[in-house]
Amino acid sequence: MKNESSTVENYIKTIYSLCDKNGKTTVSAVAERLQNNPASVSNMVRRLHEKGLLENKSKLILSKEGNLLARQLIRKHRLWETFLVRVLNFKWEEVHDIAEQLEHVHSPLLTERLPVFLKYPKFDPHGDPIPDKKGNLPDLNAIPLTEAEVDQLYIFRSVATDKSDFLNYLNKKGLQLGQKWKVTEKEEFDGSVKLLIDENREVYFSETVAQNF
């Protein structure tokens, strides 16, 4: 695995996260996500293909190598987030932006020793699965809140985004991983839900929030 620039690495991560079930995405989706101009993305797509990170010259499908690179970056990102929370006592809403930088530090030795020290964590502080060395993801075995059945009991396993504004909102509402909850009411007209948390506390979520839970 060659040492790519942070820019190239961020493109690969973005493409990976935007790929649909057929493993592909579009120039405009990548441009939108990175807040770059489509022309810049188009230009980068050519370069990524030249580097062998994309399957096809114009299709925006990651090659085997590109896919592995993406998973290794996600692995590093989530290991660093885990480290920051567990070792340096960061809160879950504080770690993402720092991990965005730390994931680009190139050191096989460090990438090997960090998980040893952390005792091979399977999930990061947001409940996201940490790929192993070879890029295999542990099974999260979870469903999104929007698909939860009324009155069925669930456990809060992960959040769909680790952006700090959303996590701060959850903090304010007293929501944490590991809590038990069930949907007690579901409003069809606006997609909002009423939850019972730990059998003793009621919370209302808008559809927007529910989609990230």
Partner DNA sequence: GTAAAATTTTAGATTAATCTAAATTATGAA
Partner DNA sequence: TTCATAATTTAGATTAATCTAAAATTTTAC
124 lines the binding site for Mn ion (CB under 5 A): yes
26 binds DNA per the rule CB under 7 A? yes
Task: Report d(CA 71, CA 9) in Å as an integer.
Answer: 11
**Given the rule CB under 5 A, which of 12-20, 52-60, 119-127, 168-176 is the region that contacts Mn ion?**
119-127
Token pair of 78, please? 């989530």
The residues binding a second copy (CB under 8 A) are 84, 87-90, 94, 97-98, 101-102, 105-107, 109-110, 113-114, 117
Residue 197 interacts with, from DNA, Mn ion, a second copy, none (CB under 5-8 Å by kind): none
Sheet of strand 193-197, all strands in order from the earlier edge strand to the far edge: 154-155, 180-186, 193-197, 201-205
Q: What is the contact mask toward Mn ion in residues 151 to 190, using x (rule: CB under 5 A)?
A: -----------x----------------------------
> Six-digit token pair at 64?
């085997």
Residue 101 found at the interface with DNA (CB under 7 A): no
The partner in contact with residue 35, picked from DNA, Mn ion, a second copy, none with C-beta cut-offs of 5 to 8 angstroms by kind, is DNA
96 binds, among a second copy, Mn ion, DNA, none (CB under 5 to 8 A by kind): Mn ion
Residue 107, amino acid: S
The rounded Cα 93 to chain-centroid distance in angstroms is 13
Contacts of 28 (CB under 8 A, 6+ apart): 38, 41
Judged by beta carbon distances under 5 to 8 A according to partner kind, the member of a second copy, Mn ion, DNA, none in contact with residue 124 is Mn ion
Distance of CA 209 to the CA centre of its chain: 16
- If the CB atoms of residues 14 and 67 are measured against DNA, the closer one turns out to be 14
| Residue 29 token pair | 């989706």
Question: Which tokens is 53 given?
Answer: 């990170």
Told to check if 96 binds Mn ion by CB under 5 A, we report yes
In 113-179, at which residue ranges do the beta strands (DSSP E only) sit? 154-155
Nearer to a second copy, 113 or 133 (CB): 113
Is the CB of residue 177 less than 8 Å from the CB of residue 157? yes
